Structure 1
Amino acid sequence: MSTQTSSFSTPPSVAAQIARLPEMPMAEIRALWQKLVGGDTPTHNRQFLERRIAYRLQELEFRKVDANLLDRNQRRIESLVETGKVKKRDRDYRPAAGTVLVREYKGVEYRVIATADGQYDFQGRMYPSLSMIAREITGMRWSGPLFFGLKPPSNAKTKPATKKRGGR
């Protein structure tokens, strides 16, 4: 029997494609840019090109997972153009599948990956909420979206200054 590999192989994962970018010759980077984005590369800055190509690869892959992503983003863009203001995210906002959330806590870096089924992969275990992971990390109750920086702390909202009245 022959040990040749089949001509029908699955394409490398998005992560594998992104991992290969730094090793690719610049000519291949330019060709990949042309294929994914179209047109000539806007700069010769390799790091810029690699980041944009990585983003595009993820965009193409993960929009298959979340078909509503493009529609949701288009509605937000239209709202921004119409009102001039960015609408706050919905309370049940969840990051797109494949998003990696990174948080450093007490000198240790923690990584969480959002999955297509709405759960979160943390250290090889699945969790239904970011809050459960934040509690696992800190030992205290935390808002998961707050802990991972998906929403600002409530004290970040600036309150109008109040005038102090002096006594007469």
Structure 2
Amino acid sequence: MKPSSIAARVAALPSTRFADLKKLWAQLFDMPMPTHNRSYIERRIAYRMQELDLTKEQQQLLASNKKRIDALLQQTKPAQKVGRGELVRLAPGTVLTREFMGQTHRVVAMPDGQFEYGGKPYTSLTAIATSISGSRWSGPAFFGLRDAQKKERKGERT
């Protein structure tokens, strides 16, 4: 698309025959010509041609931006959610310790994203917390990770 093509077409309107302006009007508008005032018709046609050209450019720009955004989204992984909080990701080898009912419980984060407790692999901290307590617990809350996340979001750092 040449930037001067629309300008050249608009500049050519004054030298265009009136019969050709009528045909151009019929192509550009869904209504009959309201007047035979040449100056008015030329201005309306010029405006409409520019409007259509800019609309086409904007649609092309939007399409290219959408492609770029889609490509960026493919490169980034969305934050995974579990329930109401973010998925807990701990560095491999991180040890979580919890004193519960007079016993100390240790959980180790594994490289594959699982957790090891009592020599057995678990897929979530919630499964371990439920195993330890005998009732349904949020794993991150049980091991004190949930409170730390809330404080960081509120700007309180311990």
Structure with higher Rg: it is 2
TM-score tier by shorter-chain length is: 0.3 to 0.5
TM-score (norm 1): 0.37
Q: Which protein is richer in helix relative to its size?
A: 2
